[in-house]
Amino acid sequence: MNNYDVPSYIIRGAVTKKLKELQLLRDVQTINIDTLPVNFGIAREDGEPVIGNSSEPLKLLLHDIFEVNRADRTTYLGQVRQNSQQKKENIFIVPKTDHANEITTLLTEIERINYIVGKTYSTDEEKAIVLKFSSELDDKNAQLMDLLHAAYAEGDAIYCYNAFSLTSSQFRDTIQGLQRDVYGNIFYKRLSSRLSETLAPKILRETAAAVQRTIGAAPDFQFFDTSGNFIGNNLAVTREILAQTTNYSTGRELETKLSAAPTGYSFGTIMSSVAALFRGNKLIARHAGTDYNSAFKQGAEVIFANTHNFARAQFKAVTQNLSVRDRQDIIEILKDDCQYRKWTGTSLSYQMNDFDVVDAIRSLSKEIISQINQKVISNDELVNLFGSCIQAKTVFQQFTAAVNESNCLSQAHAFLQGQDDFITAVERVDKDFDFIDNSLVEIKEIKEYLEEIKAEILASECDFNLIAPLLSQFQQCYDADVVHNYNIIQQIAQKVKDIYYQLFKGKANELTSTYTDLLVKADGLKRKLDAYDPSWNTVLYNRLEIFCRQCSANQIHNIQLGQYSIRCRKCGKQLRDIVHEIAMAPSRESQLTVWETEIVTSAPQPVPTPPQPQPNSGSGDPQPQPTPPAVRTRNMRSQLPSGKKTVAEYKQWLMNQLTSLSLYDATDELDFNN
């Protein structure tokens, strides 16, 4: 067995294997700092892993017991101290070398025994020898572990030039004290508490009043006040996340950067803090090709539904914000001056972020434009009447672009700078729409009424100059701005109405007087009829009754004109009807004159029997005999003038007689004796 030489690299590797099993080292692999477990990688001084992950940023580095200068340990420790000054993440442990030779001997023997045991033997004597060596292996391993334990437990620890002598009883406390120093120096931006990733979706769903209660009371994560307002601008976690998101960064990238030194945040802390900042309008997000400027935008909750979505989502800090005053001013302008809820049917909240506030300007603008298109532009007549409403549309068109990071602030500032024009445009459209809904019908009625008045006056041959200036003024007001000129238009309509009423009243009085006179004459004719047997003049009685009814209908004692009506509600006549009836009065008077000549003053003679046709001796049908026309006698004595007359009166009498004669048949006889 002594002839088997064990190479030094085998011995070195064997030491590493034994150190992996050393409980002394495993006890300091993980330490709880501020209730948070912190892992340390344990490796050889040259970087070869011993216990744990070699990628851990914090490490315990073990010097090789065979490399330590036994002759001048002090000088060796001084060199290690010198090298450790800039390595704040590493604690160096230099083992005690008193038992280095024994360790070498034991490792050599153990390797030789392992070599022998690994061979195949055939004789019983050889097997007995192997069995003897095997029984010694456990004892030698135990002795080796004791010596390694003593070497490192009673060695020296060095950190940042400071050396600490170790003892078996104080090893763990001393090393853990140094580990706390390492953690404090490397993760100097660490937090004293952490969040679970399960909080992230709850932060987005929770009500404003309850969101901070859901997050908890830890001082590191006081993102919101009791009303849900974001107050976490000065939190360390806020500053670190925003510093990493000046450009779009994925959730995975944030985890990589913030879990490393000097922050050392847990994944749950990162994910839930990002959710809080997103809700607090400090971050915008992009996921699956969609940009989310608000945590309350539909679909935003999917980003934090699971760790996979979060890792792939991108986040960017909102580097520029509206001031609290500007945001409040915009909301108040939209709510109070622009009646946002009346136009859109939705309410605004002071909890809205910058994007939501500017998007509210966009929503209001688009809604008003849509209603202008629907109510005005779709109607050619209204386009001409409400040009100012269409002009107001150009104000709203400035704010219809989709809101994004690049135009959010500029749109907000443009709105604030032009708020007077915007408010005026909203008020103008609102006033026009109210006019269309409530007063446009009246304007149309007035327009039609004035056109009817014009036609009546022209048809009645009245003085058109009475209303011509008013009609011209109306047209100017109508073409310019019916809303602004509404009161003037009403005044014009009333003036025209008054003029028409006076014309109507004058003509109605003339008509009444004229037909009252005709009724008097008709009554005189009736008295003449009454002097004879009624059966002799039945036809005239019937005619006279109808005539009197017609004359009575033309007696107008109560004029009732509707609001915008040219026809009297009482008599049913309009101006041209009255003028026509006045013009017909002479012919009606002539009719009375004619009827007076037809009065039967004696009993009617029996009608002679017409001669019977004689048979024709010749051939063919008998020829009918023509019936001679009946001769009507007109009594003219009552028509003759009496007394003295002026030439003018006599001329008028002659003209009336000629008018009457035109109503007689050419065969009528005129009897001047009756």
pLDDT in tens, 164-173: 999 999 999 9
Mean pLDDT for the stretch of residues 73-78: 92
Cβ(394)–Cβ(369) below 8 Å: no
The lowest-confidence range among 309-318, 563-572, 597-606, 645-654 is 645-654
pLDDT digits (tens, 9 = 90+) for 433-456: 999 999 999 999 999 999 999 999
Note the pLDDT of residue 165.
94
The 8-class DSSP code of residue 301 comes to G
Closest CA to 245 of 215, 286, 279: 286
Tell me: pLDDT of 3 over 80.
Answer: no
> Could you tell me the maximum CA-CA distance found in the chain, to the nearest angstrom?
193
Tell me: pLDDT of 631 over 90.
Answer: no
Q: What is the residue-wise DSSP string for 321-364?
A: ---HHHHHHHHHIIIIIS-HHHHHS----TT--HHHHHHHHHHH
Higher pLDDT, 48 or 4: 48
CB neighbour burial string for 93-107, b if at least 16 within 10 angstroms, e if fewer: bbbbbebbeebbebb
Higher pLDDT, 259 or 644: 259
Contacts for 631 with CB less than 8 Å, ≥ 6 apart = 667, 668, 669
* pTM, rounded to two decimals: 0.60
Mean pLDDT for the stretch of residues 105-129: 70
HSE value, Cβ hemisphere, 13 Å, CA-based, for 565: 12
Phi, psi of 283 (to 5 degrees): -130, 150
Neighbour order of strands in the sheet with 290-292: 249-250, 314-317, 283-287, 290-292
The lowest-confidence range among 128-137, 217-226, 525-534 is 128-137
Residue 34, number of CB atoms within 10 A of its CB: 12
Residue 578, number of CB atoms within 10 A of its CB: 24
What phi-psi label fits residue 155: left (phi over 0), alpha (psi between -120 and 50 degrees) or beta?
A: beta
Question: What's the CA gap between 436 and 400, in Å, rounded?
Answer: 25
Q: Average pLDDT of the chain?
A: 87
Tell me: pLDDT of 21 over 70.
Answer: yes
The 8-class DSSP code of residue 481 comes to -
Q: Where does residue 122 rank: exposed (0-12), middle (13-18), buried (19+ CB within 10 A)?
A: exposed
Question: What's the CA gap between 6 and 653, in Å, rounded?
Answer: 168
* Local confidence band at 153 (pLDDT 50, 70, 90 cut-offs): very high
The lowest-confidence range among 8-17, 401-410, 447-456, 663-672 is 663-672
Of the spans 115-129, 488-502, 639-653, which averages the highest pLDDT?
488-502
HSE value, Cβ hemisphere, 13 Å, CA-based, for 612: 2
Tell me: pLDDT of 121 over 60.
Answer: no
Q: What is the H or E stretch that residue 541 is in?
A: helix 538-553
Tell me: pLDDT of 562 over 90.
Answer: no
Note the pLDDT of residue 419.
95
* Local confidence band at 132 (pLDDT 50, 70, 90 cut-offs): low
The pairing of strands 36-39 and 30-33 is antiparallel
Helix (H, G, I), strand (E, B) or coil at 620: coil
Residue 5, number of CB atoms within 10 A of its CB: 9
HSE value, Cβ hemisphere, 13 Å, CA-based, for 259: 16
Question: What's the CA gap between 5 and 335, in Å, rounded?
Answer: 93
Q: How far is CA 327 from CA 350, 410, 501, in A?
A: 8, 13, 60
Helix (H, G, I), strand (E, B) or coil at 314: strand
The pairing of strands 59-62 and 90-94 is parallel
Closest CA to 278 of 241, 306, 327: 241
* Local confidence band at 662 (pLDDT 50, 70, 90 cut-offs): low
Note the pLDDT of residue 106.
87
Cβ(184)–Cβ(259) below 8 Å: no
Note the pLDDT of residue 197.
94
Mean pLDDT for the stretch of residues 171-176: 94
Note the pLDDT of residue 105.
87
Note the pLDDT of residue 4.
61
Mean pLDDT for the stretch of residues 392-411: 91
The pairing of strands 283-287 and 30-33 is unpaired
- The alpha carbon dihedral of 326, 331, 334, 336 has a sign of negative
Note the pLDDT of residue 606.
64
Tell me: pLDDT of 124 over 70.
Answer: no
Number of residues that this document lists for the chain: 674
Question: What's the CA gap between 132 and 125, in Å, rounded?
Answer: 11
pLDDT digits (tens, 9 = 90+) for 208-226: 999 999 999 999 999 999 9
Higher pLDDT, 351 or 403: 403
Based on its alpha-carbon atoms, the radius of gyration of the chain, rounded to whole angstroms, reads: 60
The pairing of strands 633-635 and 669-671 is parallel
Q: How far is CA 420 from CA 238, 333, 408, 428, 668, in A?
A: 38, 10, 20, 12, 90
Helix (H, G, I), strand (E, B) or coil at 262: coil
Note the pLDDT of residue 383.
87
Residue 539, number of CB atoms within 10 A of its CB: 11
Tell me: pLDDT of 509 over 90.
Answer: yes
Tell me: pLDDT of 317 over 80.
Answer: yes
Question: What's the CA gap between 506 and 65, in Å, rounded?
Answer: 136
Question: What's the CA gap between 281 and 228, in Å, rounded?
Answer: 12
Residue 282, number of CB atoms within 10 A of its CB: 23
Q: Which two tokens stand for residue 564?
A: 């915008």
Mean pLDDT for the stretch of residues 73-94: 92
Mean pLDDT for the stretch of residues 20-43: 88
Question: What's the CA gap between 67 and 7, in Å, rounded?
Answer: 16
Q: Which two tokens stand for residue 220?
A: 């590191």
Span between the terminal Cα atoms of the chain, in Å: 186
Question: What's the CA gap between 276 and 240, in Å, rounded?
Answer: 14
Give, to the nearest 10 degrees, the angle between helix 440-459 and helix 575-597: 40
Q: Which two tokens stand for residue 546?
A: 């109808």
Note the pLDDT of residue 625.
55
What phi-psi label fits residue 150: left (phi over 0), alpha (psi between -120 and 50 degrees) or beta?
A: alpha
Tell me: pLDDT of 626 over 60.
Answer: no
Contacts for 175 with CB less than 8 Å, ≥ 6 apart = 28, 60, 91, 93, 157, 166
